[in-house]
Amino acid sequence: MELVARAYDTGRPIWLRLQDGRVAEARTMPEERHAGALPWVAPGLVDIQVNGYGGQEFSSLDLTPERVAEIARQHDAWGVTAFCPTLTTQSFACLAHGLGAIARACESDREVQRLVWGIHLEGPYFCPEDGPRGAHPREHCRRPDWDEFLRLQEAAGGRIRILTMSPEFEEAPAFISRAAAAGVVVALGHMGATAEQIRAAVDAGARLSTHLGNGAHRMLPRHPNYLWDQLAEDRLLASLIVDGHHLPPEVVKVFVRAKTPERLVLVSDLSGLAGLPPGRYTSSGCEVEILDDGRLVLAGQQQLLAGASRPLGMGVINVMRYAGVDLATAIAMASARPACLLGRRCGGLRPGDPAELVLFDLRENPPEFSVRATIAGGRVVAGSLPAYQPL
């Protein structure tokens, strides 16, 4: 397979030949040979926080391997070539069921196996206070329990790769140490922790702050507070939801400057209600609303968000708009950075790189990350390649 597009990192036209699932050849081309508008080409995006789609949560007793496969394949259309199904706080029975359904889907469907790079368990070991717990049901927020986690990992077939938890529990450091030693990326979130508790968690092996700036109290002390503590902790990466709803542009700009792009990961945090029309719904035991502007909020509380409804590409274009980073930096935050966190290698444009690519257009007004084609394993899995004159 051959294609010509505009390289995301140089802005120059590039010719690529793909073979056996990898980039076999890559050549920069003269600008004048392709005066028409070429799409951009970049590594496929990697989304480590996806709660569901189209009316189906992964944290659900109704989840089936078939529904997992439907949600997984939807990612091809968004230019996402790998993702982490994310289960949020629920009963043990519900979590075990959802994890088992995802495991069976991976075992029986090669396309799901290709797309799913691991499972993200967001909870249930969370602070039960209003504010920090967000839309996570209070009745299912509980203290860390290592035996329970092992049973959940067994249900998942060993696929839990990220665990987000609160660090303020007395047993948290020991739990984090055991999870990190088992190869799980421990992330901090939905908490009201002190600086000392955050430091102890990081000393024990925590590596990530989940959706920094969200899942927090509505009112915080000017200083100290846990947002400053996490921003200042260089050992922590942080994920950000830059969908235009979760964080104001000024906050995104400050976070990017303080944390630096090298320590930031973009996530979508897609809700199971993403893709549905505006209205009132029940999700994970909570009453939520999709507003006309696309925001997903707790019913009757329009300032309390309950997940996101926009794919990861929107975060790419928004972080460029809000923080002034270039396209190469924004793409790295949504591809190489999350891949590295998971110990994986994403796609690329150099010979030998995996042929996991997205061809797309960027539009500023209204902002849009418009996918023309997604390539996985060296084959087109969504859209179509633009026509071009071969060399």
**Alpha carbon distances (Å) from 103 to 73, 84, 148, 156, 179:** 16, 12, 18, 5, 20
Tell me, yes or no, if 9 is annotated catalytic: no
Alpha-carbon gap, residue 327 to 338, rounded angstroms: 16
- Among 229, 233, 234, 263, smallest CA distance to 332 is for 263
Compute the distance between CA of residue 307 and CA of residue 313 in angstroms, rounded to an integer: 16
Residues forming a β-bridge with 367: 364
| Phi, psi values for residue 278, rounded to 5° | -55, 145
Helix (H) or strand (E) holding 88: strand 80-88
By C-alpha distance, which of 320, 328, 366, 319 is closest to 349? 328
- Record the tokens describing residue 389, joined without a space: 């004159």
Over the range 28-38, which residues count as b (16 or more CB within 10 Å of their CB) and which as e? ebeeeebeeeb
Q: Which of 110, 115, 107, 108 is nearest to 85 (CA)?
A: 115
Whole-number Å distance between alpha carbons of 365 and 39: 17
Which of 47, 76, 269, 353 is an active site residue? 269
User: Pairing between strand 119-122 and 185-188?
Assistant: unpaired
8 Å CB contact between 116 and 170: no
Beta carbons of 198 and 230 less than 8 angstroms apart: yes
Nearest to 373, CA basis, from 67, 3, 87: 3
Active site residues: 269
